[in-house]
Amino acid sequence: MGARVYTGAATPTTITSSITNVSTSVTIASATNWLTSGQFSVVIDPGLAGEEKCLATLSGTTLTFVTRGYDNTTAASHNSGAVIYPVPTAIDFSEANTHVNASSAVHGITGSVVGTTDTQTLTNKDLTDSTNKINWSAFAGKNAIINGGMDIWQRGTSFSGIGNLTYTADRWFTETGGTANVTQQTFTAGSAPVSGYEGTYYLQYATATTNSVHGIDQKIEDVRAFAGQTVTISAWMKATAATTITVIASQFFGSGGSTQVDAGSTTWTLGTSWQRYTFTVAIPSISGKTIGTGSALNIRFLNLTNASFTFQLWGVQMEAGSVATAFSRAGGILQGELAACQRYYWRENWDAQTTYAIFGQGSATSTTIAYCQTAFPVQMRVKPTAIDFPAVGTYFQCLDATAGGATMTALSFDVNQTTSSLGFLVATVASGLTQFRPYVIRGLNSTAAYLGWTAEL
């Protein structure tokens, strides 16, 4: 039912010709102050035996009937000169009162009204902005999986013949008794499984040698994560041929902690096209458990068939609740995702735009040793436990700005001086340093020069 409109200044008038009970229009003598837009109700022959209410519209002085015998009156014949005027009717008031008291099926919607302060669960609601869809990839914190979009590859983009517990794309490591090939792959234009997502890469895992276990994992810090809650794991996957993948959520209580607990598992059968798979699992409580160093909630994607296979992985998400929502990065934007990865590992690379890269600066403590500091881009999870770099003598020098550079023979870090935000490097050369003179550790003119810091779980 459309809304009715009225004006308080409309004057009573008369009809200029007689009408029957089925007439669809009539001309009125005057339309002074009557509304000429919208619908309204009128009364004809008010107070007489044939009183009738009608729903009508007006154009000029022509009144067109939308409904005859309106509001429980009966359509009737009326003589020329019958009195007619607009009048609110009982329907107007009853509908208004019904609306005031209604909590569902109002304003043309199906279901309950969403309150501004009431606690309610939104179901099947599209949240829109000026582009009609909210960019879920910008929402940080919902997804517990870091680098689920496979955006960050600080350690490299191709790993051949690697074994167990080898990190590839940031935060992702292999779980295998054999060897595998893990590579960064690029979506071709229009082939990404989620339209409009600005990500570029996905991960490909292929067996190099087969064994009973092959797959890739991520450890979520720490085992307290989601304990006692229901979570949903989702991922976009495909394979070069039909492949089964077992997804396992496990609680690792760390060094000195309780025995590992497998929270649950499921098996997905991958096809050759991208498809989103989901798994809802109840994570056990950790009540009564001992939590050691490096505890984690581990998510594992494993093939247990002892066969050759190749699968692709993208858009991995773990979130609270039993519903898989649209994929988003743990760090929100790409810069936030990089920072989240760097909390566990960060690598400084030789910059192709400069002649040399400076990896640390400090001073010599003897003719063979220089101590140099480097600031981390983010505070790491803990003090780094290891560093990685290419051949020292080929790619690094210990440089004095006035006396030139000395080829390094070793590079390490002082664990006692290093913190979670500041690295303390130890550069060793055969001879030639001057004690207390300033020195820097620089990478030679090669894209292969890099220095990585590890604080993984």
Burial of 318 (C-beta count, 10 Å sphere; 0-12/13-18/19+) = buried
189 and 312 both lie in a single domain: yes
238 and 278 both lie in a single domain: yes
301 and 164 both lie in a single domain: yes
Asked whether residue 135 is assigned to any structural domain, the reply reads no
pLDDT of 301 reads 98
21 and 83 both lie in a single domain: yes
Asked whether residue 144 is assigned to any structural domain, the reply reads no
Asked whether residue 243 is assigned to any structural domain, the reply reads yes
Asked whether residue 130 is assigned to any structural domain, the reply reads no
334 and 418 both lie in a single domain: no
392 and 437 both lie in a single domain: yes
Per-position pLDDT tens, the chain of length 457: 567 888 888 999 999 999 999 999 999 999 999 988 899 999 999 999 999 999 999 999 999 999 999 999 999 999 999 999 999 998 888 888 888 887 776 666 666 666 666 666 666 665 555 555 555 445 668 999 999 999 999 999 999 999 999 999 999 999 999 999 999 999 987 777 877 666 799 999 999 999 889 999 999 999 999 999 999 999 999 999 999 999 999 999 999 999 999 999 999 999 999 999 999 999 999 999 999 999 999 999 999 999 999 999 999 999 999 999 999 999 999 999 999 999 999 999 876 656 678 899 999 999 999 999 999 999 999 999 999 999 998 999 999 877 677 889 999 999 999 999 999 999 999 999 999 999 999 888 777 889 999 999 9
Domain carrying residue 270: 158-342
Which domain CATH number covers 386?
2.60.40
361 and 377 both lie in a single domain: yes
Which domain CATH number covers 312?
2.60.120.260
Asked whether residue 206 is assigned to any structural domain, the reply reads yes
352 and 260 both lie in a single domain: no
pLDDT of 137 reads 47
Asked whether residue 139 is assigned to any structural domain, the reply reads no
pLDDT of 353 reads 59
427 and 411 both lie in a single domain: yes
pLDDT of 101 reads 82
Q: Which of 435, 413, 438, 411 is nearest to 424 (CA)?
A: 413
- Full-model pTM: 0.72
**Residue 457 burial (CB count, 10 A):** 19
Asked whether residue 373 is assigned to any structural domain, the reply reads yes
Asked whether residue 146 is assigned to any structural domain, the reply reads no
